[in-house]
Amino acid sequence: MYRIAVLISGSGSNLQALIDKIESGYLDCTIECVISDKKDVFGLKRAEEHGIKTFVLERKEYVRGLSEVIYEIVRGKVDLIVLAGFLSILDGDILKGFRNRIINIHPSLIPSFCGIGMYGIKVHEAAVKSGVKISGCTVHFVDEGTDTGPIILQKTVPVYYEDDACALQLRVLEQEHRALPEAVKLLSEGRVNILHNRVQISGWEDIDD
């Protein structure tokens, strides 16, 4: 059984998407734990309702030691770390110990509207302001940079002239709930290879549910 840890900072809607896909049989995985860098977020309640072990590691308490503590929790216990709306930056040994085994979902089509300071509603505000006609989400590997790791897959949505950031955010979120489970499925089935910092996927046509 493929084992994952999910890291969150908020409502956990992408966590819920993973839980739903596991319960439906689409994913042959277990969520071994959910780690939040904030207390009292709804994502923790989602995990607890499904009997998933939770950890709360508040950023203000751990400061620079957060990644080290997370590494101690997951080392030897999971095959993949999934950042699902996790706002803290991982660094240090965990990036080496889980090389190409940490993924993140970002609410834009990387390399647009990403990098330091680009998260949450800020991403959609920038997209609307820019006048782009297409946006979406990206699942990518996590490396030492910010949103710089190899791209696994992307989903697109139209951007309408009438959109504000909140309207675009909701449209993109629907695609996040598709993209993240698809990426986990590909990885759990060993269908992802990284060649020259690009992702090669075998059997792409079989990933849709």
Stated length of the chain: 209
- Our answer to whether residue 106 is catalytic in this structure is yes
Q: What's the rounded Cα separation, in Å, for the pair 209 and 206?
A: 8
CA of residue 118 relative to chain centroid, distance: 15
Per the CB < 8 A criterion, the answer to whether 34 and 11 are in contact is no
Rg (CA), the chain: 16
Q: What's the rounded Cα separation, in Å, for the pair 60 and 12?
A: 20
Six token digits for residue 40: 């009292």
- Which residue in the list 106, 124, 140, 177 is annotated as catalytic? 106
16 in helix, strand or coil? helix
Q: What strands, in cross-sheet order, belong to the sheet with 134-141?
A: 54-56, 29-36, 2-8, 80-83, 102-106, 134-141, 151-158
Which sequence positions are flagged as catalytic?
106
